[in-house]
Amino acid sequence: MGMNFEEVKEEDFMKIGGDKPPHLLIEAALIKLGGDGVDGFEYKKQVLKAAGWKHHELVSYTSKAKEATLIFNKIRSVLEKTQDKEKLIEELGTLS
């Protein structure tokens, strides 16, 4: 069974307050899937790279909101099908 997240929209990266935007929920899920802690953060970076994020980790999603929206929705679509760590990266690589 897949993980379901709301569609990520450009304006989500500019939100302040309220419910957590979908991209933060997706990031949290990736970190947990990767094993929490340092392993989880490294896994999240691998997934973002596999999905096509070409920027340094210090580049904010807000500054590249259109691109970040595409990347997170790509990850979202694959997470709906699988939570297998390797398969997730593999499938994202085929979509890039």
Higher confidence at residue 2 or residue 81?
A: 81
CB atoms within 10 A of CB 8: 25
pLDDT the model gives residue 57? 83
pLDDT for residue 17 is more than 90: no
C-alpha atoms less than 13 angstroms from C-alpha of 68 in its C-beta half-sphere: 23
Instruction: Name residues whose C-beta falls within 8 Å of residue 23's C-beta, 6 or more positions apart in sequence.
Output: 8, 12, 13, 61, 68, 72
Q: What is the pTM of this model?
A: 0.92
Chain mean position to CA 70? 10
pLDDT the model gives residue 87? 95
Instruction: Catalogue the long-range contacts made by 42-45 (C-beta closer than 8 Å, 24 or more residues apart).
Output: 43/85
